[in-house]
Amino acid sequence: MTTELVGTDKTQEPPERVKAREAARKAWKTIHEKRVRERIFLTPSLDLLDGILQVSEKTAISTLRTSYGKNVICQFDKTPANICCGRFWELRWGFGCPFDCNYCYLRGTSRGNMRPRYIPIELVLKALDDVFSEESFNDGKPALFNSGELSDSWMNPRIMIQIVDKFEEQNKHRLFTLTKFGSKSEMLQLLLTKKRNQTVTAFSVNPPAVARLYERAAHPPSERIEAAKCLANAGYDTRLRIDPIFPIEGWKRHYSELIATILTAFKPNRIILGTPRGLWKTIVFAQKAGVDMSWTKYFAEGETGWGKKLPFHTRLGIYRFMYNELEARGFPKEKITMCKEETRMWQDMDLPVRQLTCNCYGDFGGHRDIPR
């Protein structure tokens, strides 16, 4: 007589082994779907994805790619729903910043590593060639590429000027550069050698009193304004970013004088305003770096859709003051905007709420008005 041993049937695996295999299968499916989202160019019928993605996922994915050149060019789409900023294109040519400002969000983004690092320029230029030759890129509309989101755009002028000149090979898309370099930098010398039509130049400025507190390694505000003036006079689309605005003692006087200095020198094509923002990673890595953390004392308790901010009524008072100062000196209201602000701020300011309209985008990408 044969005795049957319970558990020797190989088709009846132990529950823990079944669970482990199922977990591994789900993990691989997640990885595979992510790769599909990043790499595949979807056909209108989405036949290529049948059996891989759920219908709801297919509907959510754009019919166009959102990254090029192994993420050298990426679409940023993580803006919280209550913040009036939309998707934009990042040009990830470099990471970090030599200026190491106390409040800089790159501390968190780079996990404390502010040392400048660069993507090989040949990979950057190849990614741009791919985009420029793709007729359906950005739904066929002109795009503005932000080169100053993950670094100072001009921290390596010899690299950036190659990118600037690459944009001159076409006349549809434009490059946005943002910097705290000034008139004594190589950046200015290179840009003034000839006029480039496809590059927007922007400068981040604060009053000298704020710069001395939190922007000690950056070029002096007066030199940044002088560089902006030179480029504007040379025909460049030149913009200024007064951000973050700190309500230090006597802040109204400091920022009124800054506005007067700017508008006496030249008229920017646009001025973007912003108040301090403190993402939790930014604060953690700023503390680890041992910088002066007094910039965090202005924050209210709790967080908005973009980290900690000043109390709402304080921000509202700052924006009203800045708008009034600019308009009083003849600067057009429609050329002023606010960075990473809540919808309710635009509404309380009695301004049309526009998505994808700010210093970085301008008229590129369109906008969506939200009814009051």
**289 located within any domain:** yes
What is the distance, to the nearest Å, from the Cα of residue 58 to the centroid of all Cα atoms in its chain?
Answer: 27
Asked if residue 54 has pLDDT above 90, the reply is no
pTM of the model: 0.80
Helices (H) and strands (E) in the chain, counts: 12, 15
Question: What was the pLDDT predicted at 139?
Answer: 87
With a cut of 80, say whether residue 279 has pLDDT above it: yes
Task: Compute how many other C-beta atoms are within 10 angstroms of the C-beta atom of residue 235.
Answer: 10
Q: Let me know whether 51 and 152 are in one domain.
A: no
Last residue of a domain, one of 34, 59, 84: 59
> Which residue, 164, 177, 249, is CA-closest to 207?
249
- Judge if 85 and 54 occupy the same domain: no
Contact between residue 167 and residue 188 where contact means Cβ atoms under 8 Å apart: no
Q: Are 225 and 205 in contact (CB under 8 A)?
A: yes
- Model confidence pLDDT, tens digit, residues 240-253: 999 999 999 999 99
Domain that holds residue 269: 68-370
- 31 or 334: whose pLDDT is higher? 334
The per-residue pLDDT for 214 is 98
pLDDT tops 50 at residue 81: yes
Assigned domain for 165 exists: yes
Q: How many residues does the chain have?
A: 372
In whole angstroms, how far apart are CA 252 and each of 1, 222, 244, 329? Answer: 99, 18, 14, 15
Lowest mean pLDDT, pick from 42-46, 93-97, 264-268, 308-312: 42-46
Of the ranges 48-52, 142-146, 302-306, which is most confident? Answer: 142-146
Asked whether residue 27 falls in the same domain as residue 171, the answer is: no
What DSSP letter does each residue of 329-353 carry, written as one string? TT--GGGEEESS-BHHHHHHTT--E
Whether 42 and 80 share a structural domain? no
Residues 55 and 101 in one domain: no
210 within domain boundaries: yes
DSSP 358: S
> Are residue 261 and residue 323 in the same domain, yes or no?
yes
pLDDT computed for residue 63 by the predictor? 46
Q: Is the pLDDT of residue 155 over 90?
A: yes
Residues 179 and 48 occupy one common structural domain: no
Shared-domain flag, residues 82 and 113: yes
3-state secondary structure of 1: coil
Q: Tell me: the pLDDT tens digits for 4-24?
A: 333 334 445 666 666 766 666
Band of the pLDDT at 43, cuts 50, 70, 90? very low
Average pLDDT estimate for 260-277: 96
Specify if 159 maps to a domain: yes
Mean pLDDT score of the chain: 84
Q: Count structural domains, the chain.
A: 2
Are 44 and 78 in the same domain?
Answer: no
Give the CA angle between residues 138, 339, 328 to the nearest 5°.
120
CATH of the domain at 98: 3.80.30.30
Say whether both 231 and 192 belong to one domain.
yes
Please say whether the dihedral angle defined by the alpha carbons of residues 63, 69, 71 and 73, taken in this order, is positive or negative.
Answer: negative
Question: Is residue 47 in a domain?
Answer: yes
Classify residue 3: in a domain, yes or no: no
Q: Is 12 part of a structural domain of the chain?
A: no
- pLDDT mean over 94-122: 95
Q: pLDDT tens, 312-356?
A: 999 999 999 999 999 999 999 999 999 888 889 999 999 887 655
User: Are 299 and 275 contacting, i.e. CB atoms less than 8 angstroms apart?
Assistant: no
Contact 221, 205 (CB under 8 A): yes
- Domain identity same for 189 and 270: yes
User: 286 and 148, same structural domain?
Assistant: yes
**Domain-located, residue 10:** no
pLDDT range class, residue 25, cuts 50, 70, 90: low
